[in-house]
């Protein structure tokens, strides 16, 4: 018995050795503080949970849902986009519900990528951009996000002949893992290039609402002409603390949305309707959900940045996401520094190389750990680094 070649082609799990060390340390009774995973520790707002409880008791929600999503949910997405970004969407043609944005991002290459097609995936970036492309038979290539460019891609580094061969470009701003942001002017330039060279833009906007100091992230769909070349992915996971609920959506070009819906109708049966009704409640009250969340993340961001600045690290205050992207000290790789902090401080951070080769030289710290545990983690790191 053998497995498919497409599975054999998937890269090995880079963090296996660190996970082994974490498990061993816990077996030895050590108190490990995990700052590696971006899973909000704060609860889902009560008004969303209450709506879910009501909808679960409604027998009409106990049947197969629509693969495209409830009309009321798609309408709620369109209303939120209008309110938040000033973008008018047709909920019938330009919105599709997803079982979390990860599902949609992973399946999207199946819609547009043929075997051998070239796909540029942000590097460092969310690994699913690359993995989804590989499973579709495409060839993922790194789109370098370098510190000297403030972690924005430099499309001028590619030849015109190369860009004409690219089928899809995956972008993500505010960015995971670097926490950097992009301006509307940047998106205007990318949309212009997409029209010039004929590629599709797949933009992951999952962190748009986790922002600080008055910053407001734009949607690529605010750009004139973006609707002809772009699809945008979003979810309720981050902005409403609903990671485990698995509810997201894609919006944008009607042909791309239809293609993604066609894939979904053949492989899944949609999101449980009760969850979608809870999503309607969430989208109508996003601002309320964020009121208690953003001050907590702001305080945690400040704690982490100030701790590492006191230790001599050159760090900006991120304007968005709940991550801090930290350069490793001289003499370390991203993996060896993560292992050092695990061994010396019993603190888990994510090695940047896990997000692509251009993530080497950095580690990512997540702010989704209870504040008192984060405070203790920073104290341990100060001690381990001689601060």
Q: Indicate the pairing of strand 118-123 with strand 166-172.
A: parallel
Could you report the per-residue pLDDT of 191-228, keeping only the tens digit for each? 999 999 999 999 999 999 999 999 999 999 999 999 99
What is the domain partition of the chain in residue ranges?
Answer: 5-43+292-384, 46-286
Task: Give pLDDT, residue 251.
Answer: 98
**Where does the chain have alpha helices with state H?**
5-8, 16-27, 46-56, 71-85, 101-112, 127-135, 160-165, 184-197, 254-267, 273-284, 286-291, 294-310, 334-345, 371-384
Amino acid 15: pLDDT:
64
DSSP string across 331-387: T--HHHHHHHHHHHH-EE-EEGGGG-GGGTTEEEEES-S-HHHHHHHHHHHHHHTT-
Fold of 5-43+292-384: 3.90.1150
User: How many residues are listed for the chain in this entry?
Assistant: 387
Cut 0.85: pTM above it: yes
Which tens digits make up the pLDDT trace of 242-278? 999 999 999 999 999 999 999 999 998 899 999 999 9
User: What class does CATH assign to 46-286?
Assistant: alpha beta
């Amino acid at each position: 018995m053998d497995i498919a070649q497409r599975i054999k082609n998937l890269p090995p799990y880079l963090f296996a050795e660190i996970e082994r060390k974490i498990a061993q340390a816990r077996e030895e009774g050590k108190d490990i503080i995990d700052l590696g995973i971006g899973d909000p520790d704060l609860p889902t707002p009560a008004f969303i949970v209450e709506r879910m409880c009501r909808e679960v008791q409604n027998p009409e929600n106990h049947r197969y849902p629509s693969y495209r999503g409830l009309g009321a949910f798609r309408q709620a997405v369109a209303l939120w986009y209008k309110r938040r970004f000033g973008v008018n969407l047709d909920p019938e043609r330009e919105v599709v519900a997803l079982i979390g944005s990860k599902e949609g991002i992973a399946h999207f290459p199946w819609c547009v990528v043929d075997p051998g097609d070239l796909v540029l995936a942000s590097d460092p970036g969310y690994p699913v951009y690359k993995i989804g492309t590989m499973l579709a038979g495409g060839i993922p290539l790194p789109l370098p996000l370098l510190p000297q460019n403030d972690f924005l891609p430099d499309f001028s580094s590619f030849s015109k002949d190369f860009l004409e061969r690219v089928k899809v470009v995956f972008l993500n701003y505010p960015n995971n893992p670097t926490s950097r942001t992009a301006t509307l002017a940047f998106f205007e330039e990318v949309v212009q290039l997409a029209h010039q060279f004929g590629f599709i833009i797949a933009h992951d906007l999952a962190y748009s609402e986790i922002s600080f100091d008055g910053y407001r992230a734009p949607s690529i769909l605010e750009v004139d002409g973006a609707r002809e070349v772009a699809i945008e992915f979003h979810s309720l996971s981050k902005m409403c603390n609903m990671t485990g609920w698995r509810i997201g959506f894609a919006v944008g070009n009607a042909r791309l949305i239809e293609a993604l819906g066609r894939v979904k109708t053949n492989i899944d049966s949609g999101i449980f309707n009760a969850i979608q009704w809870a999503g309607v409640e969430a989208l109508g009250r996003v601002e309320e959900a964020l009121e208690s969340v953003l001050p907590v993340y702001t305080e945690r961001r400040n704690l982490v940045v100030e701790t590492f600045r006191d230790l001599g690290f050159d760090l900006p205050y991120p304007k968005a996401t709940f991550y801090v992207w930290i350069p490793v000290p001289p003499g370390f790789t991203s993996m060896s520094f993560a292992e050092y902090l695990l061994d010396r401080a019993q603190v888990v951070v994510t090695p940047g190389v896990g997000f692509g080769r251009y993530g080497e030289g950095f580690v990512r710290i997540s702010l989704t750990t209870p504040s008192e545990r984060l405070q203790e983690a920073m104290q341990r790191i100060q001690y381990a680094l001689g601060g």
